[in-house]
Structure 1
Amino acid sequence: MAEVTADYEDAISSRSRIIAAAVRLTCADGWSKVTMGRLAGEAGVSRQTVYNAVGSREDLAEAMVLTESAKFIFTIVEGFENHPDDLLAAIHAAVENTLVLAEGNALLRAVVSATHGADTELLPLLTTHSEPLLGTLMVVVQDRVDQYEIDLEPEQITAVIDMVVRSALSHVMQPTATPRKTADSITWFVARILGRAGELTGSRA
């Protein structure tokens, strides 16, 4: 049993290394330059290990999109979980951390750009996964926001969430300020809607 567990963990580790290597190569040189042989060298594994771990080249592309999307979602969730009693602080953390994550990550920006209908040659399948990503983000944020007491009607809360998510995504694609300043602005806007602008302090004021 211990040997089976070790083999499983090795397979998971190899898959993670291969996907991470594929992201690096894609961001550096574009998807068209990513071959299974080059990927094996970058990840430090054999070509057969690459095929065993990720399947076809199309499977690899899909795994890359899903992996980057999962990072995005985890960062948002983490922001809320770190501030269970302060909605404004949670929004600020989720937005700022997401924008920091996106800095220098061309693939993540391409995935997000596809949610706004942008055409990108960086990686195929982006348009296929763009709408599910946007819908997933809306659901994830809604689930977290529902844990706070908010003096708005449900449809109004949904409208605010839509504004925050779409605004944050637009800044992922085209940043106009530092992640912190952008998070300050978005949080200030939400605070104004909630009538809680007076609660903002420090960088969030």
Structure 2
Amino acid sequence: MTRFRETVRSLLREQVLDAAYQLVAADGWGGLRMTSIARAAGISRQTLYNEFGSKEAIGNALVQRELEGFLLGIQRELDAHRGALEAAAAAGVGYTLQQAVDNPLVKSVLLAARGGEDDLLAYLTTRPEPVFGTAMAMLDAYAIEAWPDVDEESRGLAVETVVRLTVSHIVQPVASPEESARRIARITARVAYPGGRG
């Protein structure tokens, strides 16, 4: 019975997050109400509050779910270029920047922020979790295995550099995703290999 309850709860959470995703993508975060989410998900407000507790918790869960999808895609890109750090970084960053351009939730968050509503943007930029912490932990673990010749300090600096620059370019793009990815990858490789390898 416990497994059944967990499955039902997991399905409920996904149903709520799908509904919230569609509402945020269509109308932005600022106007999102728990009542609207419950109605769109086909559940009662009380069930919604019992499962998530607050709009902030839903925002956190939405960003976490999107981040997990991004990280899986990034790992595929890194694996395809495992032999060369700069090429791998360019592929991973390029994938992330292009997904950010194409992702309705990210687009909605960025448009709202440019209009002065930045509540959900904080999950991407000023809160250390989930974006920075999760992405840096994943990339650090990957780099330890993929590029064992990079010393610990250089690896840590390179990982932080690539994550922070990528998020910065998502929030405030200054060039095409491809060009930004090339530049971020070059910087990352120089930080990882100060002597010029990579």
Q: Distance in 1 between matches of 2:97 and 2:105?
A: 14
1:83–1:90 CA contact under 8 A, matched in 2: yes
**More moved, 29-38 vs 124-133:** 124-133
1:173 to partner: Cα distance: 0.7
Give the structure-2-normalised TM-score. Answer: 0.71
2:30–2:117 CA contact under 8 A, matched in 1: no
Q: Specify every segment of 5 or more residues in structure 2 that has no aligned partner in the other structure, as ranges.
A: none
CA-to-aligned-CA distance 1:148-203 (integer Å, 9 cap, x gap): 34654432232222222222111111112232222222223445564357xxxxxx
1:95 to partner: Cα distance: 0.7
Q: Please name the residue that 1:171 is paired with.
A: 169
Residues 1-205 of structure 1: pairs in structure 2 closer than 5 A: 5=3, 8-105=6-103, 108=106, 121-123=118-120, 126=123, 130-132=127-129, 133-149=131-147, 151-191=149-189, 194=193, 195-196=196-197
1:144 to partner: Cα distance: 0.9
Q: Distance in 2 between matches of 1:179 and 1:127?
A: 18
1:30–1:122 CA contact under 8 A, matched in 2: no
Q: Which has the higher contact order (CA 8 A, sep 6+)?
A: 2
Runs of 4+ in 1 over 6 A off after TM superposition: none
CA-to-aligned-CA distance 1:105-150 (integer Å, 9 cap, x gap): 4754759xx9xxxx85333973897113323322221211111346
Q: Distance in 1 between matches of 2:161 and 2:50?
A: 42
Counterpart of 2:18, as a letter, is A
Q: Specify every segment of 5 or more residues in structure 1 that has no aligned partner in the other structure, as ranges.
A: 198-205
Q: Distance in 1 between matches of 2:169 and 2:121?
A: 23
Alpha-carbon distance change, 148 to 5 in structure 1, aligned in 2, over 3 angstroms: closer
Q: Distance in 2 between matches of 1:127 and 1:163?
A: 15
Alpha-carbon distance change, 42 to 65 in structure 1, aligned in 2, over 3 angstroms: same
Alpha-carbon distance change, 191 to 134 in structure 1, aligned in 2, over 3 angstroms: closer
Q: Distance in 1 between matches of 2:63 and 2:9?
A: 20
Alpha-carbon distance change, 14 to 135 in structure 1, aligned in 2, over 3 angstroms: closer
Alpha-carbon distance change, 147 to 33 in structure 1, aligned in 2, over 3 angstroms: same
Alpha-carbon distance change, 5 to 157 in structure 1, aligned in 2, over 3 angstroms: closer
Alpha-carbon distance change, 8 to 106 in structure 1, aligned in 2, over 3 angstroms: same
1:69–1:108 CA contact under 8 A, matched in 2: no
